[in-house]
Structure 1
Amino acid sequence: MKPEDFCNLAGRAGRWGKEFQGNIFCIDPLRASDWVDGSAPRSKRRQSIRLATQRLASEFSEFMEYAKSRAIRTRGRFYEYLLSYLVFRQIDYGTLASSPSVHGLSQDQLDILSTEMDGIIKTLEVSSRIVLRNPGISPWGMNAVRRQDL
């Protein structure tokens, strides 16, 4: 496999704002022993994909506790990834209510979340421009790198 094909394949493991991580498996389609019925599937099955921001709606209180604690890591790191995404969106749109990717939250929840993201953004030592140029990178990680450079 050419390096550019590998990088393209690796980029398929997650979707910004939908799912933050995933797995890629390379299987030889001609090796019958690798397939349940002896050959590679010829058609796709419909699968339900839940947006990460939909999960936020069902775990709003827990996520807000995480965001307010300015925690670095959590179980599964999902909240860390989600927080990075929301900080990015808050900077990009000015308010999360204007972001097309935040669904399922009430107006009150959006206001609370937006206010919390503003508070987080004010604590950043890196500029908003740097955050926007590095989507998916933890804001606290960027702060730590900046501190090492000083």
Structure 2
Amino acid sequence: MDFMNISLIGILTSLAMGGTLPDDSKTQQQVAQVSTHILPNIAGQWQLRLDKTDAAQPNCQERYNFGRDQQFIGSSGQEFTYGKYLYADTGDGLPALAIQTQYDNNATDCSGNRVDQTGDILVAYVKQQGEQMQWCKDSKGTRCDMTLQRVLP
């Protein structure tokens, strides 16, 4: 296990225990009176390409919005979620995305399921090409199950 994996595990553990991510922008703003933000290349709104949806919701859409403040908002059918995310280079392969759900309204999603994901942490490796992003199970990008298309920058 290399240093980056240990650091990522430490951050995920901190998030799971109710910790927060450091906000360096406030310190920079107080010292220099200038506020700058570096956006991860996944910032913006993305829509999941769905192969199968619930027959009761034939026009169902699943969308994810990644904000500049490491806040995440998701919707799938009637389900609405929000939480925190971390997007970081792993040093070995694809960058990693960790999402911790802080709230889930426990409504029916596009697959017809009702699962309360509050407190859950999802970790995926991100393969991005232009306006398309895939979430993969491995850092080499050989097992990618989810494909998303950018909707808004």
TM over 0.5: no
Give the structure with the larger strand fraction: 2
Larger Rg: 1
